[in-house]
Amino acid sequence: MLHPVIVHFSIATLAIAVVSDFLYLLSKKQSLWDMSNYLLGLGTIFAIGAVLTGQQAIEIAKIPPQVEDMVYDHRDFGQMTMWIFIALSLMRVLFIWQKLFRKRIKWIYYGLALLGLVLLFRTGLVGGQMVYLHGVGIQKTTPPPASKPSFED
């Protein structure tokens, strides 16, 4: 399954993009602005991949009935998060093009970025609970039987 790999890239790139944006507000360092530009675009692509591979994982994984609601909650919040970051990416392009980051309207962008970050972490937390507490998506294997060491060839 590709979902666990892609989702970690999505979380990391999007979180760093949003944090870089807020650090830019404080410091006005161009490098933070540039980093956020690239990471937001890349993270949004990873978020789309995470949602698509997550949907595939739902179809493949054996989901215990007691965690079904948690799985679908995770899926719904993942989709919401993806759409927020798609909107942020498009909004960022528009705001740069129209020079709107110099006006008060920029706070709509930053508010949405903060909401996206909260949803990103909430979605990741639920995903982690599904895997680590409930074993969703984990293939349980039994270890081979122990054998006596042999010194003969």
Tens digits of residue pLDDT in 78-131:
999 999 999 999 999 999 999 999 999 999 999 999 999 999 999 999 999 998
pLDDT of residue 15 exceeding 90? yes
pLDDT of residue 60 exceeding 90? no
Q: Do residues 57 and 137 lie in contact, with contact meaning Cβ atoms separated by under 8 Å?
A: yes
